[in-house]
Structure 1
Amino acid sequence: MTIRTTALIVGAGFGGVAMAIELRRAGIHDFIVLEKAPSLGGVWRDNSYPGAGCDVPSPLYSYSFEHNGRWLRRYAEQPDILAYLERTARKHGVTDHIRFGHEVASAEFDDRTARWRVRTTDGQEFATVAFIPATGQLSRPAYPAIPGIDSFRGRSFHSAEWDHECDLAGKRVAVVGTGASAIQFVPQIQPKVARLTVFQRSAQYIMPKRDHAYDRWYHWVFRQLPVTQKLDRLGFWLYAEFAQECLSRWRFFTPLFRRQAEKHLREQVPDPELRRKLTPDYELGCKRVLFSNDYLPALTRSTVDLVTDRITEVTPTGLRTADGTDHEVDVIIYGTGFAAQDLLAPMKIHGLGHRPLGDAWSEGARAHLGITVPGFPNMFLMYGPNTNLGGGSIIHMLESQARYIRDAVTTLVEYPGRYLDVRPAAERAWDEEIQGRLQRSVWTRCRSWYRNEHGRVVANWPGRTYEYRRRTRRVNLDDFRVGAVG
């Protein structure tokens, strides 16, 4: 039996929940959220590794309409963020719309009915007017393409799929990767293990994390004077807007941030040889800037080795590097990030004329406003291409997208049997503008997950969040071809 609905949202993380709340606000209750996991939360459900937390201040890493006076720290940790999202979803009636344990396998637009046919891996079928993938850019763990990766006889897992049954105490542990996740869990596991070997492909710029606990006094002030919480959020937002402009346009400020990172490294790593290994050879901001007070000190411990030689092979007993050294370990942890380039995978999506989305994105994902793709009517992306931020809170971007998509869905409800297909000229003009601005940004200066093999920056937004909010304030129907059934 095919289940019919007005809107179908895929994913129940921050993006999916924001979208569901916007639909309910617009009086649209005929929608379904499909979530492949048994609970909501997205990346904040999956990334439960020791020390998992956010590097955006908690007053800003929250919905603008749902301030939280119960944050435990300025930089919230994973359990606190997940609890906030769960409370918000319950409060706004979203959980009643979620169908857990439903993974989408395929979606195809049917121009005879102006509906998407969406099928799940267990064979269920849905017919929906609006198809809204909210799976995000960072939802699928990426393992490195290293020969022999399946030959290791010990325990191995990705940081986003942390094996909590694996006792690391007294073990020889290898960590592959030194990105945003690794710098959080390495200091947590280092005191427990017998030997820790960290394999670094490239050094990271690490800034001090201005973190502190929110004690009872903070919570009392926030409760008694709610305006203080808004001012707190405003202050962080203004600084994030400044940082975003520094990365995309005002690069003359870069030396100030670089000197801060260099000072942090000097103060925390006294050994000049180790400090040399930890000094980046690219421009600050080209890769994601990281924040930590305890990662660098952890690397200075006598039980820790930092290896910068390239891994050539995973063996049954460990890892072999390009210098011929065999590093024997008991456990391998891959902190190697996510398949950010493979947006919407592994879903098979076909638009008008049965055209695969992969064909439209043969040189990299692209979408008008990061939301709509020509030839794929009534498909609206949350956290789509070129909507990631080098600085600031992605939740601000998600709220902008949710409001824009709500406007589009409301239009489709008012005119049943119609569909909105963004014009290729509108998408092309948008893409040319964004890619032109990105060419002047720091993100084209090195290899990173922001860019694909064709050199396109497919992840990041080149402006301020305020600009994006303004440009997505409402749907401009002139940008769309309006189709009709029959």
Structure 2
Amino acid sequence: MAGDLLTRLIAFSELLTLAGVYFSSASPIVLVWQYYAGNELISYTFLYLGTICCCLLSWLLYTSYCPAGLLVSPVKGPGPSHDSTTTNAQENPHVVIVGTGFGGLCMALKLKALGVSFTITEKESKIGGTWAVNTYPGAACDVPSALYSFSFAPNAEWDRRWSDQPAILKYIDGLYRDNNILPHVVCNTEVTRATWVEKECTWKIECERRVGGEIEKVIFRAKWFITATGQLSYPLVPNVKGVKDTFTGESFHSARWPTESNDGTCSSPAQLDVVKNKKVVVVGAGACAIQIVPEVAKVASHLTVIQRTPSYIVWKHNQTYSSFRRMCYRYLPLYLKAHRYSFWMFAELLYQAASKRDSFLNAFLGKTVGLSQVRTQMGDKEGPNSDLIRKVEPDYQFYCKRTLFSSDWYPALMRDNVALVTDSMTEVVADGVVTSDGTTHTADTIIYCTGFRATNVLFPMIIHGIGGLVLNAVWGKRPRAYLGIFMNDFPNMGILYGPNTNLGHSSIIQMLETQAEYICQAIKYVWETDNVDAVAVKEDVLRAHIETVDAEMNKLAFAADCNSWYKIGGNNPLQCSTSTLWYWLRTRLFQAEDYDVYSVENKKRI
């Protein structure tokens, strides 16, 4: 009881620290000045002083109310046989993690700190997840660099406000190497099936490993099965006539770009050789397309962009960080933390202002912020770009779809060698693409910027729970999980970046951290509780959570009427229904009473 009270007190003092930083910098005037003018002196003065004051307040709370020696609770591991420092990658680890992106890396770092043995499987030949395979020209992040990193591993070497793919991959690779995680990774190994073995309270995880040109079967057995495959891992190609084998030129998905530089990044000019002096058709106008099109337009003889739905696109003020600033980040860590919190707070404020469905602020921000670039870069509706303006202006509610960031998308569309087509693609023929108006758009190369199978969560793995239940069959058309992490009847299985945890306003890295920490609390509970070998969330707790999520979602712009990859019919199984602050609060403490417990001796105890 005392320990639980202490944990809550510490969580409360941490909340006060965050809230102090949040409100000490909550001046919209300062934020607009910082964002558009690049002048950060005033905002950082507020942040720096506010952070110092709030840290002092937090320390006073700690020292005044927490007994000496109890500030850090000792963590008991599962024993010497599971020491991750000695076992490395093995067939019988305590935990198997699927995926080596940010989610898998975060989980591995947390487990290593606990002294838990783990193995990470990766279906690709290299680590890095989505940032290893998306090597298309212009690949970059649309979340500020300071936020797109772990809070416990800040990076003082970001060279710009929004980092590109090589810089992000370097950050990931550095953490794997510096923390000796690479020995735990097995690449070219794809999980095909995972089965809960009830009598043993373990997971049997079946994989296919590519060795040369051969496929060999590999089986892991583990107490815990953690998926970190993300929602954007399997490319989606339109299901239209002729898309598979009719076209005589070269065609590929943006996540499968056919050429890459020697270092596995998008930085080489050779990346554009596949489209240089060619007629190119880009299918799609979403997050990948707005990065690819400006680069391809520079070298292609002609570029046709087929757009299904226009997006709200906000100016991307990608400020370059000077060596002096990076030095300040290295030697003044609180300054770097203030920089991170300023972006986090800005995103949270924007979410509160813009996310409410049919609100005045949503409409106001849509017209002022969401459409400001159209007017600034393309002129008046009655001017020479009037037809193009009508094509790129969204006719749906702001924030219903993912808001994008770019400063060169509209200029690229105005180039003489670029044509924007709003008729849908109906067929792929030998020499190009046919649209719904009957026009054939000839091409030497077709690039599909058509996204991923995001709503097919955990595709294509087949996962069997208690009694042989198949997870995808249980989900049907609505993936769901408690806090986006745990399912009933699937004990000791955690999902990172699971259902209803995607964000439209902030960094998914924050979500991954809180989820990994929550899973670690569950693992620790199982270790320390007698006669408990596994946990799974109770069905009624999951049901109540989903009802809460749906009720919250219906109030948000994400649920408005638009064509979005977040949705399946009328449901939105991907998007988070709260701010990152509220999600953090919901996942601060593992509540054992919300879970069924299992043991090898008694199978299930409620």
TM-score by length of 1: 0.97
Equivalent residue for 1:56, pick from 143, 148, 153:
143
CA contact (8 A) 1:320 1:327 kept: yes
Quote how far apart the aligned CAs of 1:227 are. 1.4
Residue in structure 2 matched with residue 156 of structure 1 by the alignment: 251
Residue in structure 2 matched with residue 268 of structure 1 by the alignment: 377
The residue type equivalent to 2:523 in the other structure is V
SS in 2 for 1:467: helix
Inter-partner Cα distance in structure 1 for 2:567 and 2:365: 23
Inter-partner Cα distance in structure 1 for 2:502 and 2:487: 17
SS in 1 for 2:150: coil
Inter-partner Cα distance in structure 1 for 2:433 and 2:343: 43
Quote how far apart the aligned CAs of 1:363 are. 2.9
The residue type equivalent to 2:325 in the other structure is Y
Question: What per-residue deviation string (whole Å, max 9, x for no partner) do you get for residues 42-64 of structure 1?
Answer: 11111111111011110111000
Quote how far apart the aligned CAs of 1:24 are. 1.1
Residue in structure 1 matched with residue 160 of structure 2 by the alignment: 73
Matches within 5 A, 1:190-269: 190-249=297-356, 251-258=359-366, 259-269=368-378
Residue in structure 2 matched with residue 391 of structure 1 by the alignment: 505
Inter-partner Cα distance in structure 1 for 2:254 and 2:454: 16
Greater fraction of residues in helix: 2
The residue type equivalent to 1:142 in the other structure is L
Matches within 5 A, 1:4-23: 4-23=92-111
Inter-partner Cα distance in structure 2 for 1:441 and 1:247: 9
SS in 1 for 2:389: helix
SS in 2 for 1:125: strand
Inter-partner Cα distance in structure 2 for 1:140 and 1:187: 24
Pairwise CA RMSD of aligned residues?
1.4
How many residues are matched?
483
Inter-partner Cα distance in structure 2 for 1:204 and 1:48: 23
Inter-partner Cα distance in structure 1 for 2:331 and 2:534: 48
Gaps (5+ residues) in structure 1? Answer: none
CA contact (8 A) 1:247 1:390 kept: no
Asked whether 1:146 is paired with 2:254, we answer no
Residue in structure 1 matched with residue 520 of structure 2 by the alignment: 406
Asked whether 1:126 is paired with 2:220, we answer yes
Residue in structure 2 matched with residue 287 of structure 1 by the alignment: 401
202-211 or 412-421, which moves further after superposition?
412-421
Gaps (5+ residues) in structure 2? Answer: 1-89, 209-215, 260-270, 380-384, 602-606
The residue type equivalent to 1:73 in the other structure is R
278-287 or 87-96, which moves further after superposition?
87-96
CA contact (8 A) 2:130 2:233 kept: yes
CA contact (8 A) 1:245 1:463 kept: no
Quote how far apart the aligned CAs of 1:417 are. 6.0
**Whose Rg is larger?**
2
Matches within 5 A, 1:369-388: 369-388=483-502
CA contact (8 A) 2:309 2:563 kept: no
Inter-partner Cα distance in structure 1 for 2:424 and 2:571: 26
Quote how far apart the aligned CAs of 1:71 are. 0.5
The residue type equivalent to 1:24 in the other structure is K
Equivalent residue for 1:44, pick from 107, 110, 131:
131
Quote how far apart the aligned CAs of 1:328 are. 0.8
Larger RCO (alpha carbons 8 Å, 6+ apart)? 1
Asked whether 1:82 is paired with 2:177, we answer no
The residue type equivalent to 2:195 in the other structure is E
CA contact (8 A) 1:207 1:260 kept: yes
Inter-partner Cα distance in structure 2 for 1:268 and 1:143: 32
Matches within 5 A, 1:443-458: 443-445=558-560, 446-453=562-569, 455-458=570-573
Inter-partner Cα distance in structure 2 for 1:167 and 1:355: 46
SS in 2 for 1:284: coil
Quote how far apart the aligned CAs of 1:247 are. 4.2
Inter-partner Cα distance in structure 1 for 2:488 and 2:218: 27
SS in 2 for 1:118: strand
The residue type equivalent to 1:266 in the other structure is R
CA contact (8 A) 1:111 1:352 kept: yes
The residue type equivalent to 1:483 in the other structure is Y
SS in 1 for 2:373: helix
CA contact (8 A) 2:231 2:497 kept: yes
SS in 2 for 1:147: coil
Equivalent residue for 1:427, pick from 542, 545, 552:
542
266-275 or 301-310, which moves further after superposition?
266-275
Inter-partner Cα distance in structure 2 for 1:40 and 1:47: 12
Inter-partner Cα distance in structure 2 for 1:248 and 1:405: 29
